[in-house]
Amino acid sequence: MERLYPALIIDALKNVRYPGNGKNIVELDMIEDDIRIDGNKVSFSLIFEKPTDPFIKSLVKAAETAILTYISPEVDIKGNIAVKTRKPLPEKPANPLPGVKNIIGISSGKGGVGKSTVASNLAVALAREGYKVGLLDADIFGPSVPKMFGVEDEQLFMHNVDGRDLIIPVERYGIKLLSIGFVVDKNAPVLWRGGMASNALKQLITDADWGELDYFLIDMPPGTSDIHLTLVQTLGITGVVIVSTPQQVALADARKGIAMFMGEKVNVPILGLVENMAWFTPAPHPEERYYIFGREGGVELAKELGVKLLAQIPVVGTICEGGDNGAPIALEDSIAGQAFMHLAHETIDAINTRNNDLPPTVKVDVSKR
């Protein structure tokens, strides 16, 4: 008898057809990836959609016969085929924002890497391109969007829409904004348990009049937490942008963040990685670069994990000044402003690529209005 290997088993099982539709059990993905070979003993599992499938016994017998017929009668297979029921795929969350075309999470593995700065400037850059944009500051314990847009003292109001009282987002630079920072004391820490924070976040999403948006950006809390799960369970997120610096400590945390979003519990596409603080450029000498946090760590991480590098954002003093003064740097045509415009274009391309990979019935239109 020839040496056994998994591909030989698969080829033999292609001769077993499921009654009624004429397709073979390999084509129907009914063979679990657990083929075990020990000498001439072969064992594996057949997966059925439901435990009451009337063809379970006949298909197990047919699979045994196929292996004995197409490989060798010496194969020890009888009684070695297990039967399992396919686990149902998790349902996609219903979108409470039917007027929103694309929902983009902006996340980081740790704090201090400029995630909120990237989120704010990406929102401004998209608005400058003519898109309708919303920005939700979901960083419950460190809301900074109100400061970055110069709207810290704004009060929230409600109005009635189709019989529902909805929060009216604050508008600045053509962007609709909401943040927990609008409803808490900006000088006091937010001492909430996870459940309270998640409920407050849901309210800002579902009880606000976001209207029609091309892009809805969510500035997520740093790290990994139950708030991330709340966002995923509440919204059908289009994809996530991961922000890191070139520093190895930040990259290690970024790797964990990417793993979280790609895991089974979250399963959200990674649109790409932004390497923030990629180098320092003095404003009077735009051609000079000083790599004070390491060089191209984000570039290497993107290659390692097979994700797209969306942009490298330099450290420029005016970025901090713009954020502190409520005027994001993406409003200007400076070096940093151009970097954020580039990020906007790359993010749009990443979303278009993702949408082109979806079935036609679920594609969304991201063309400029």
Tens of pLDDT, residue by residue over 285-309, are 778 888 888 888 888 888 888 889 9
Burial class (CB in 10 A: 0-12, 13-18, 19+), 176: buried
Task: Taking residues 180-185, report their average pLDDT.
Answer: 78
Q: CA-to-CA distance for 99 and 211, rounded, in angstroms?
A: 6
Contact 169, 134 (CB under 8 A): yes
What is the length of the chain?
369
> For residue 310, what pLDDT is reported?
94
Average pLDDT, the chain: 84
Q: Give the predicted TM-score (pTM) of the model.
A: 0.69
Rounded Cα distance between 316 and 303, Å, is 26
Q: Name the least confident of 31-40, 106-115, 131-140, 229-238.
A: 229-238
Strand 81-85: give its sheet, edge to edge.
36-38, 41-48, 81-85
Per-residue pLDDT at 185 exceeds 70: no
Buried b (16+ CB within 10 A) or exposed e, 139-161: bbebbbbbbbbbbbebeeeeeee
Task: Give the gyration radius of the chain's Cα atoms.
Answer: 26
Q: Which residues pair with 242 in a beta bridge?
A: 107, 273
Note whether 72 and 1 are within 8 A (CB). Answer: yes
Kindly indicate the confidence band of residue 186, based on its pLDDT and cuts at 50, 70 and 90: low
For residues 348-356, give the mean pLDDT: 86
pLDDT for residue 31: 92
Closest to 210 in 3D by CA, of 95, 120, 105: 95
User: For residue 256, what pLDDT is reported?
Assistant: 80
Rounded CA gap, 338 and 368, in Å?
A: 19
The pLDDT of residue 227 is above 90: no
Confidence of residue 95 (pLDDT cuts 50, 70, 90): low
Give yes or no for residue 364 having a pLDDT over 50. no
Do residues 241 and 105 lie in contact, with contact meaning Cβ atoms separated by under 8 Å?
A: yes
pLDDT confidence tier of residue 249, bands split at 50, 70 and 90: confident
pLDDT above 70: residue 73? yes
Residue 185's φ and ψ, nearest 5 degrees, are -70, 120
What whole-number distance in Å separates Cα of residue 312 and Cα of residue 57? Answer: 58
Confidence tier at 189 by pLDDT (50, 70, 90)? low
Task: Note the pLDDT of residue 191.
Answer: 60
What is the per-residue pLDDT for 365? 44
Q: What number is the average pLDDT over the span 252-274?
A: 82
How many CB atoms sit inside 10 A of residue 236's CB? 15
Q: Binning pLDDT at 50, 70 and 90, where does residue 22 land?
A: confident
What tokens were used for 258? 């990417």
CA distances, 188 to each of 45, 90, 142 (Å): 57, 39, 11
Cα 86 to Cα 46, 47, 49, 324, 334: the distances in Å are 9, 6, 5, 53, 55
Going by C-beta distance under 8 Å and a sequence separation of 6 or more, which residues neighbour residue 78?
A: 64
Question: What is the reported pLDDT for 103?
Answer: 92
> Residue 44: exposed, middle, or buried by beta-carbon count in 10 A (0-12, 13-18, 19+)?
buried
Percent of the chain at pLDDT above 90?
42
- pLDDT for position 264: 67
Strands 100-108 and 239-244: parallel
Predicted confidence band of residue 195 (pLDDT cuts 50, 70, 90):
low
pLDDT reported for residue 254:
82
| Residue 81 pLDDT class (50, 70, 90 cuts) | very high
Among 47-56, 253-262, 301-310, the minimum mean pLDDT is found in 253-262
At 49, phi and psi to the nearest 5? -70, -35
- Mean pLDDT is lowest, of 60-69, 128-137, 229-238, for 229-238
Indicate if the pLDDT at residue 335 is higher than 70.
yes
Q: What DSSP string describes 313-360?
A: EEE-HHHHHHHHTT--GGGS-SHHHHHHHHHHHHHHHHHHHHHHTS-G
Q: Are 81 and 16 in contact (CB under 8 A)?
A: no
Does pLDDT of 13 surpass 90?
A: yes
Can you give the pLDDT at residue 5?
85
- Average pLDDT value for residue range 131-155: 88
| CA 296/CA 279 separation, integer angstroms | 9
Domains, the chain, ordered by start:
6-85 (3.30.300.130), 100-362 (3.40.50.300)
